Amino acid sequence: MKNLAIFYGGKSAEHDISIITALQVLNNLDKQKYNIVPVYISNINTWHVLKDYEKINIYAKKSYEGKKLITGFYNQCLVQKTLFGFKKVAKIDQAINCCHGLNGEDGTLSGLLELAQIPYVGSGVVASGVGMDKVIMKDVFKSNNIPCVDYIFFTQKEYEINQSNIILEAELKLNYPIIVKPANLGSSIGINISKTREELENNIKIALSFDKKVILEQVVQNLREINCSCIGNYNSCETSILEEPKNWQTFLNFDEKYLSQAENKKTINVKIGNGIDEQIKALSKKVFQVLGCSGVVRIDFLLNDKTQEIYVNEINTIPGSYANYLWKHKYSFSQLLNKLLELSQDEYLYKNTNNYAFYSNVLQNYNLGQKNIKFTKIK
């Protein structure tokens, strides 16, 4: 039986949402097929294998107990430090990344798993990094003729030095209302709509408290938000049904999105018509393939319902709940996870067909090239 590690939590503002995604994944995995190793990463970046990991209250109260691990792997093994040295906890055969946001979804955990040569569910280092940074993401979209809204961005340092010029640039290039976002966060954290200069300045301060880079975007008029999921890897890509969440004009903040019990926050399997559904699915595939994604992603679109103009808003390389609700027409959650694990194994084998060795006589001949080099002592 394979040891399957589930990574969740993380040093991220989206830490709590990651726990919810992980618990949903853990409740739908085939326990007859996999030996589950839940690896909780605290918000101070310590790794743990917890007792009672399925009880959500232990995270809320920070009252968890279990094995504290060394961060990283040794020969594909999770390791615990003891009074007598180091002890192997489990050899990991495969992994699922449930970490949202920085220090997990941004490619850092993907890189660690690749160095440890462990197959994992989720996109690789480049796709994850690009998908995390909203500025780089939109730059890549533009260079590949993928439509996105007008935007400007700046760093905290630039804003400290040139606040008035940046505000002026925003008002010249964008029209109110303007959306203010931290460049590297999701789940609506730090995101606000500005209808006046005063609101804009205040919302920039909020965004800069979460990230050192901020992006300002033009609001789409007559807005409908439409989301589409893709699943696949280098070899294939299929698209899901579409959903329509509550849009920016009736913007959901973090608490409303995750804590409210309000009905009708989204419509699943929405049909738009006029060829828009097909355009969104085609653009979803293009984004997936341009970024080189793997596993399951969700791509969020902005639609001007009057002009029928479509803009790609962003990609989520580890969507909340693994976007299982967009695949229920085809896969149960358990079937979706099985498919993702198969895709990750296929991706791992494909990557390892590359030739990573190049043999030359550079090292043997290195000293020969040094004989004619004269070193001058600097006084």
Token code pair at residue 200: 């804009």
Instruction: Give Cβ neighbours of residue 97 (< 8 Å, ≥ 6 apart).
Output: 7, 104, 105, 109, 110, 113, 120, 121, 122, 318
Say which DSSP state 327 is in. S
**Tokens read off for 193:** 């709509």
Query: Tokens in use for 145?
Result: 């003729």
Question: Quick one: three-class SS letters along 246-277?
Answer: CCHHHCCCHHHHHCCCCCCCEEECCCCCCCHH
Alpha helices for 133-195 (secondary structure H): 134-143, 156-173
Given a contact cutoff of 8 angstroms between Cβ atoms, the answer to whether 335 and 327 are in contact is no
* Residue 332 falls in which region: left (phi positive, over 0), alpha (psi -120 to 50) or beta: beta
DSSP E strands, the chain: 2-9, 34-41, 47-50, 66-69, 77-82, 85-91, 94-97, 120-121, 151-155, 178-182, 192-194, 213-218, 223-232, 237-245, 266-268, 295-304, 309-316
- Which of these, 243, 288, 210, lies nearest to 14 by C-alpha position? 210
> Which residues of the chain, if any, have pLDDT below 70?
186-188, 247-265, 357, 368-379
Structural contact between residues 78 and 49, judged by C-beta atoms closer than 8 angstroms: yes
For residue 39, what are the CA distances in angstroms to 5, 21, 98? 6, 13, 10
As a whole number of angstroms, the distance between CA 345 and CA 118 comes to 9
Cα–Cα nearest to 131, from 311, 317, 276, 344: 317
Which pLDDT does position 149 carry in this prediction?
Answer: 96
361 Rama sector, left if φ>0, alpha if ψ -120 to 50, beta otherwise: alpha
What amino acid occupies position 200?
L
2: amino acid identity, one letter: K
Contacts of 304 (CB under 8 A, 6+ apart): 220, 221, 222, 223
Specify the pLDDT at position 284.
98
Among 317, 298, 321, smallest CA distance to 25 is for 321
Nearest in space to 177 (alpha carbons), one of 164, 154, 204, 196: 196
Predicted confidence at residue 352, as pLDDT, reads 85
Cis peptide before 177 (omega within 30 of 0): yes
